[in-house]
Amino acid sequence: MDLKELISQKLKAQFPEVDFEITDYKDQTAITFDRKNIVGVCSFLKKDNDLQFMLCEDITAIDWASLPAGRHGRKNRFTVVYHIFSLKLNSRLRLKSDIDESDLSADKAGGNIDSVSSVWKTADWHERETYDMYGINFNNHPDLRRMYMPEEFEYHPLRKDFPLMGIPGSLPLPKK
Amino acid sequence: MEKIKTKEEVPAKILQALLNQETDITIDNALENEMILNMGPQHPATHGVLRLLLRLDGETVMACVPELGYLHRGYEKMAENMSYYEFIPHTDRLDYLSPLANNVAWVLAVEKLAGIEAPPRAQYIRMIISEMTRIASHLVAIGALAMDVGALTVFLWTLREREKILDIWDILCGARFTNSYTRIGGVANDAQPEALAKVKWFIEQYEENLEECEKLINTNRIFVERLDGVGIISAEDAVQIGFTGPNLRGSGVEFDLRRATPYMFYNEIDFRIPVYKEGDCLSRYFVRVDETRESIKIIRQILDKMPQGEVMANNPKRVLPKKTEIYSKMEELIHDFMIVNFGINPPVGEIYSAVENPKGELGFYLVSNGEGHPWKCKIRSPSMVNLQALPMLVKGHMVSDIVAIIGSLDPVMGEADK
């Protein structure tokens, strides 16, 4: 049985109420689902004996802003992308969860996305970087600070509305 | 002046003393106080612009917070605003100790996205340069680690070996570092017979010289005791923290992308994955030394197997034509103009492609919108992920051990900060 079928069977048995959209592109499997289930699905994929996705390789986000409407057929602005690897199956899996700009406010119930740093420790810095670059808040993150930019920087540089040349004056020089 | 008695009093008293412009302040039990020490970003032992904030009790590290970003140039943002060809020189500046391996990683990712297949000879040349780069990078890592713990000679000797590799690059592509040698669909030029002859000469004399370096340190009591049992990380923790490359194999996990997800022709090559179980600085050092030997073995097999033939794929809409043809043929001129000005326009889609770089897994996540430049380019850099283990590793060790631990993790800040 190939990876796609195995995972789709396992996930449907474990999470009957969740919609999983499983796609294949150039032999790479991607699973898209609602962000509310991210921690549950991740810890299941990690702990299941037949799968054992122990290694979290990468977490990032995509900003779909300013694309002509309908080109990707999506309403949400961001997609958070996880790449995980199973040392047992020697295969890689991509998890995707959509999140919209309006869901990013810190106080809104059900907004934001949960942190998976409780599942994989390595997610800590990846999520910090995603927060720094896209302004996506992760709930229950142990230390959500900026990764690269200074703490007083007000923008999120990898968002499509941040100009390539930067914003003059956004990085103040230290006082003499 | 009165003496300050307890710890709680210290800040207010010192403040008052300073306000009164007194210079003669004495504190009881100075060595029992915790101290915050700032290490870096300009520090020779942090291998670049890594900054560490340390909480020290005497000389023991209680806590460590790494601060990254001093070399952040925003390559991911720049990649979104330039064509796939234009980004090749920028990959040189990621892990600047192994530029050719980064070039290979980038073109493999783009070729996968655009559906281009490079001809076999180009793939074999790419494998040679990847392995030679691995040797060069590990030589610097070994030398710098030895220098960090006080053995300066080894650094000079390993850099002498690396110099020979850089001389080969000089013949091969005209540059010593920041080579930008690979192209989408192949490599810039065929490997010259002189370059291949020099590669052959290099692999013949390498092991003898490596043994000379090893003799200096492997039985050196100072070197071994500075590394043995220092900065231990277990196999489970190493996977949890996202270690890849030699650092992971130093913890006893046999994971190598060349074996796990073979790319190019690595599945036809016979090589061993060196694994050490201890997970300390010394085992990470041994993994690197053994890996250079395996790379020699791999290069020997590649030189035997390497076929003759083209080094650029025949795909006029996606692959740059030869310079001589641009000046003499109309079609080639048009294609060159289109590729340079509008890019290669891979179909809408997304791929993640990772290769085993000297530092670990270097991955590129590319999202194409069908345009000439990537919609999104994420660089999964091994150095950044490996550095994440630093607070865990240095806890409870001495300040001088931090230097050894950073040296054994072998981070390159150009890659960690992107």
CB-CB under 8 Å, B376 with A63: yes
Burial of B300 (0-12, 13-18, 19+ CB in 10 A): middle
Residue of chain B minimizing CA distance to A160 = B77
Which chain A residues are within 8 Å of B113, Cβ to Cβ? 26
Of residues A92, A133, A147, nearest to B68 (C-beta): A147
Each residue's pLDDT tens digit, A23-79 = 888 888 888 888 888 888 888 888 888 888 888 989 999 988 765 554 555 667 888
B253 touches chain A (CB under 8 A): yes
Give me chain B's average pLDDT, please: 87
Query: Using CA atoms, how far apart are residues B83 and A63, in angstroms rounded to an integer?
Result: 19
DSSP code of residue B137? H
CB-CB under 8 Å, B352 with A94: yes
B218 touches chain A (CB under 8 A): no
- Under the banding of pLDDT at 50, 70 and 90, the label for residue B28 is low
All domains of chain A, ordered by start, with CATH? 3-139 (3.30.460.80)
Omega before B346 cis (within 30°)?
Answer: no
pLDDT at B2 over 60: no
Helix or strand holding residue B111 (H, E): helix B99-114
Each residue's pLDDT tens digit, B33-90 = 677 888 878 877 777 788 888 888 878 888 888 988 888 888 999 998 898 988 999 9
A49 touches chain B (CB under 8 A): no
Beta carbons of A93 and A79 less than 8 angstroms apart: no
All domains of chain B, ordered by start, with CATH? 1-32 (no CATH), 75-416 (1.10.645.10)
Each residue's pLDDT tens digit, B117-171 = 889 999 999 999 999 999 999 999 999 898 888 888 888 999 988 999 999 999 9
Smallest Cα distance from A12 to chain B, Å: 25
pLDDT at B12 over 80: no
Average pLDDT over residues B238-242: 89
Which chain B residues are within 8 Å of A81, Cβ to Cβ? 365, 378
pLDDT at A22 over 90: no
Query: Using CA atoms, how far apart are residues B241 and B387, in angstroms rounded to an integer?
Result: 9
Number of CB pairs < 8 Å for A and B? 95
pLDDT at B26 over 70: no
Mutation for B interface: A3, A26, A79, A86, most B CBs within 10 A? A26
B384 touches chain A (CB under 8 A): yes
Which chain B residues are within 8 Å of A83, Cβ to Cβ? 352, 363, 365, 380
pLDDT recorded at residue A87: 87
B266 touches chain A (CB under 8 A): no
Each residue's pLDDT tens digit, B252-303 = 888 889 888 888 888 888 899 999 988 889 999 999 999 999 999 999 999 9
Average pLDDT over residues B93-100: 89
Burial of B395 (0-12, 13-18, 19+ CB in 10 A): middle
Each residue's pLDDT tens digit, A137-161 = 888 888 888 888 888 888 888 888 8
Each residue's pLDDT tens digit, B167-192 = 999 999 888 888 889 989 888 888 88
Beta carbons of A110 and A36 less than 8 angstroms apart: yes
Residue with tokens 């809104």: A108
Query: Using CA atoms, how far apart are residues A95 and B418, in angstroms rounded to an integer?
Result: 24
> Residue A51 carries which side chain, given as an amino acid letter?
L
Beta carbons of B19 and B13 less than 8 angstroms apart: no
Of residues A81, A122, A150, nearest to B240 (C-beta): A122
Which chain A residues are within 8 Å of B81, Cβ to Cβ? 164
pLDDT recorded at residue B89: 92
pLDDT recorded at residue B225: 87
pLDDT recorded at residue B137: 92
Each residue's pLDDT tens digit, A96-152 = 888 877 777 655 555 688 888 888 889 989 999 998 898 888 888 888 888 888 888
Residue with tokens 């406010």: A105
CB-CB under 8 Å, B361 with A87: no
Smallest Cα distance from B41 to chain A, Å: 13
Smallest Cα distance from B376 to chain A, Å: 7
pLDDT recorded at residue B1: 46
Which chain B residues are within 8 Å of A147, Cβ to Cβ? 68-69
Residue of chain A minimizing CA distance to B366 = A62
CB-CB under 8 Å, B77 with A157: yes
- DSSP characters for A62-93? EE-TTSPTTSS----SEEEEEEEEETTTTEEE
Percent over 90 (pLDDT), chain B: 27
CB-CB under 8 Å, A150 with B69: yes
pLDDT at B99 over 60: yes
CB-CB under 8 Å, A120 with B365: no
Q: Which has the higher per-residue pLDDT, B194 or B57?
A: B194
CA distances to A56, B173, B189, B237 from B125, in Å: 31, 12, 10, 36
